[in-house]
Structure formats: C-alpha cells, structure tokens
Structure 1
Amino acid sequence: MAHGFRSSKQDFAFGPWKITATKTHIMKSKDIERLAEEMHMPSLPEMLFGDNVLRIQHSDSFGIEFNAIDALKRVNNLQDSVKVACAQEWQESRADSEHSKEVVKRYDWTYTTDYRGTLLGDDMRITATPTTERIDLEKLKAREQIVFFEDVLLFEDELHDHGVSMISAKIRVMPTSFFLLLRFFLRVDGVLIRIHDTRLFHEAGKDFMLREFSARESKISELKHVPPALFTDPNEVAQYLPLHLTECEKLVFPVKE
C-alpha cells in the first residue's frame, strides 16, 4: 500500500456549490486508539485518514460530505460479519495491541459499512426521499469534458494479509453536472468479495441530487468463471458480483424562507 501522504486541499466552484477535497496524512496511532475506545471497537483500520474529506457545499451552507469517521460509525461492531478459517488467529494477533489487552470482543473485522454520506447544515438541510428516478449512466458515458477530478481515500486495511477492506470517494465535475462514486470494497481471500457503491449525481439548475446505493457480493467459490487476477480490481470484478440491494433517493435542496 504505497500512498503518498503529502497534504493537499483542492477547492472547485460549480455554480453555487463549492467542492472541497482534503487529503492529508494517516491518523497517528494514539489518536486511532482513542477513537477505537470511543467507538467501542477493539481495532480500527491500519490506514485511517481521519482528516480526509470530500465535501460538496452550497453557498447557503447545506450539502453533503464523505469522511472516514462517519463511515466507520456505520460498521456493525457487535458481531463478526465473515467467518473464515483464519479469523481466530487474526483476532488473536490483534488482541496484543496496546489498547486491547482484554479478551477480544466480537466485531466486524472487515469494516463493512453502508455509509452513504453525511448531510450538512444546521437550519437548512437536504431532505432524502425514496424515488423511482435513476441516474442516467448512459448520459455519464458521453465524452463531456472533465473540468475537475479528485479521488479521496478514507480508510484501508489489509485484514492481516488476508485481503483488503477500503473505502474511497471519487468525484468528477463536467460543465453541466457532477458525479460522485463512494465505493466500499472488501476482498477476503478465498472467502468473498463485496462492493457497496453510493453514486451521487447533480445537474446544474436542478433543485435535487440523485443518490443510488447498491450492494453486490459473491463467495469466491462461486466465481470460478472469473479470472482470479480480476479479484483485486473492483472496477473489473464488480460486473461479476450478484446485485443484492439497490436503494434510490432524491436529495431535495431546502428553500430559503
């Protein structure tokens, strides 16, 4: 996992919106330990970028952002999500960490999250309502100029060399719209592959965004027809994973009184 830790902050204006991508260093171990205690989790991801954020904020202060801490709050820390032969050995190895000398608690050591973003605003907030509308992915395939692009990693863990668990947010801005993909990717070697995607789309001039959440998953044993080389590439393997859930919402902007 070779990631550059040079801090950067990019701002981009899109009409009344300010898109901010903040990328900085990995959280210090003492801060991770304190956060783990606060969240009642025996362990947090090895590479936790607690100050990284991708934020889309309107000039009236409402908006949505994507950050690692809120993503981890959506992890079920009360149970194991995946049973694997190496799980006991894996948890015992983590039991020696400084902040957890007690018996290792059961928790989702894969850090699976259904996080879909954090709504911003005090007096004025976006309203999320279910919808049958869909993001027009064909329109997104059109060769429109990309005027701004950023990819922000929120956390990553190699599951003690038994796979990978990671979540990142990518945004691309075109002259008339922007599109964001928040992707949680989990691969437990020899066991399963899971992808949770949140797609967010907004066209200039409209008073809403569309947000689509999808969950795909397959046991490795059911992917015998897929070249194993693709298992490490979420963009390639996603098409082979059965779709288990899709939820679509219209994020309607508040109106000033």
Structure 2
Amino acid sequence: MMSHGFKSSKQDFTFGPWKVTAAKNHIMKSKDIERLGEEMNMPSLPEMLFGDNVLRIQHTDGYGIEFNAIDALKRVNNMEDAVKVACAQEWQESRADSEHSKEVVRPYDWTYTTDYRGTLLGEASHIKVSETAERIDLEKLKVREQIMFFNEVLLFEDELHDHGVSMIGVKIRVMPTSFFLLQRFFLRVDGVLIRINDTRLYHEAGKNYMLREFSMRESKIPELKNVPPALYTDPNEIAQYLTLKLTECEKLELPVMQPQTDVKVTCIQ
C-alpha cells in the first residue's frame, strides 16, 4: 500500500572518480523491525526506521564510505538507559503495556543516541584512518560555489512517545572542486535535554584524503534559559547554543592504486 503518495527513489551522481548514491525507500515493515530488534537485543526500535535508505560515496576502485540506518543503530548503547527523565517511568509503562506487558522491559537507551560516523567500504586496508590536527575549513565552505548535486536522506526518527524527538539524517553537496557531507543525530527530550552528534566529511579534488570531524553537543534544558524555546525544535538554530562536549578529527587516507599492467615472467634456465 502506498502511503502519502511516497515513491522510492534512487539518485546517482558521478563526478571524477567518485559516485554518490542517495537511495530513499519506505519505512521498514514492522515484522522486519521486530526481527532486527531481536538481533540487536533492543526491546524497541525507532518508529520510523528507513532500513533501506543509504547515502554512499564510492570511488571507481571500490573503496568509499556510506551512511545507513542499521549501522547507525548498532552504535546505540543498548545496555543502559542513558537519560533518566521525569517521564521515563510513565514512558516505559506505556511501552510495556502495548508491546510486551508480561515481559520485563530490558533497560536500553530509548533515546537511540548514536556516535555513528559512517561505514567504510572496500577492504579494511583500503582507507587508513588516523587522528589529525587538520580541520575542515568551514570558511571555505561558505564561499558561494556552484552546487552540482545536493541530496538529503533520513535514516530514522522517533517521537519518544510525544516526549520529544530522536532522529538522524545525512545530507551531501557536491561542488566543482569538493564535496561536503553532514550527518546529524538530533535528540530533544522535552523539559530535560537537547543533544546533537554531528559527523562532517570533506574532500577536496586532487587530495589523497578526506577529513572527518565528529562532535557531540549537549545542554540540559534549564541551562538554555536565555534561548527562545522556539529554537529548541530547530537543530540548525539550537546547535550553536549547546555545550560542546567532544570533537574528534580524523584523516581518511585514500589508497594509491597501482595501475594494472600485464607482467610477463621469463624463466631463466
């Protein structure tokens, strides 16, 4: 059954040796979500889980990086209930009633907080990841350049039983000389806290590496008393007001592929 006239879509965009694929599909069916929840040992998964959505950047040599919902969920800490909130008890009870009233609800991070930074493609040895002091030049990104390709893909979203929102999505823009990607996890637990985990990825044509920056920002709602509450629902606006808890910068070095040549072996007697 088609809902809201939604059509699955897949867009490919090729530039130089790279291909970007943005695939958007229907929400995962509940029986598949249940099976996945069991595999992941999580009593509940996000209401809107786009298991087949993906944003992939792949080199003609096979290596690259992609962002998908299942791998993002695998980075959720399912052993602890990370946010103790005023409404948690009532929330747990509402879930317990509807889904497994007789079972003990296992503790898990019901906010679905993830520190996912993408899934590397190709053999493990292909892309070398190391810490770096180099930063993505955000000023350079503000210079108006022609955008040759833009796309945005939602991976999952949950309204936390009307107590806020937990969502993660990824967007990319490709310019003539570079590409820039932002994956953002946004969590708002009403009356309690707002958290944003960002992964930024940047590559400049001609360079043999990508830069990846991961940051975690979080503030409790009482700490935001000077910020208009209207901004709480807008990740782009609220991000600048949240306390920066962590930044990690990495260099993703791309392999130098040797050209394939026919090698003749001559045996000397």
Q: How do 1:166-205 residues align onto structure 2 when only pairs under 5 Å count?
A: 166-205=167-206
Residue 5 of structure 1: aligned partner:
6
Structure 1 residue 123, shift from structure 2 partner:
6.6
- Correspondence for 1:91: 92
Secondary structure, counterpart of 1:95 in structure 2 = helix
Change (3 A) 1:207 1:3: farther
Report 1:104-119 matches (<5 A).
Answer: 104-119=105-120
Distance 1:100 1:129, change over 3 A: farther
Partners of 1:119 and 1:125 within 8 A in 2: no
Structure 2: gaps spanning 5 or more residues: 259-269
Q: CA deviation at 1:155?
A: 0.1
Q: What is the aligned-residue identity percentage?
A: 82
User: TM-score, length-normalised on structure 2?
Assistant: 0.92
In structure 2, the residue matched to 1:229 is: 230
Cα displacement string for residues 62-95 of structure 1 (whole angstroms, at most 9, x for unaligned residues): 0000000000000000001101111111112212
Correspondence for 2:81: 80
| Distance in 2, Cα, partners of 1:200 & 1:63 | 12
Aligned to 1:16: 17
Aligned mates of 1:202, 1:22 — CA distance in 2: 21
The DSSP-based 3-state class of the residue aligned with 2:157 is strand
| Aligned partner letter, 1:139 | K
| Alignment-mate amino acid for residue 12 of structure 1 | F
Cα–Cα, structure 1 residues 175 and 33, in superposed 2: closer, same or farther, change >3 Å? same
Q: How does 1:37-56 map to 2 (within 5 A)?
A: 37-56=38-57
Cα separation, partners in 2 of 1:3 and 1:136, compared to 1, 3 Å: farther
Q: For residues 79 and 146 of structure 1, do their structure 2 counterparts lie closer, same or farther at Cα, with a shift above 3 Å needed? A: same
Q: 1:99 to 1:173 in 2, by over 3 A?
A: farther
**1:218–1:241 contact (8 Å) kept in structure 2:** yes
Cα deviation code 1:159-191 (max 9, x no counterpart): 000000000000000011000000000000000
Q: Distance in 2 between matches of 1:139 and 1:6?
A: 36
The residue that corresponds to 1:134 in the other structure is 135
Structure 1 unmatched ranges of 5 or more: none
State how far apart, in whole Å, the 2-side matches of 1:100 and 1:253 are: 51
* Superposition pairs of residues 203-222 of structure 1, within 5 angstroms: 203-222=204-223
The 3-state SS of whatever aligns with 1:168 is strand
Q: Which amino acid aligns with 1:128?
A: V
2:36 alignment partner AA: L
Across the two proteins, how many residue pairs are aligned to each other? 256
CA 1:100/1:31 → structure 2, altered by over 3 Å: closer, same or farther? farther
SS state at 2:238 partner: helix
Residue type at the aligned position of 1:118: T
Query: What residue in structure 2 maps to residue 64 of structure 1?
Result: 65
Letter in 2 for 1:140: L
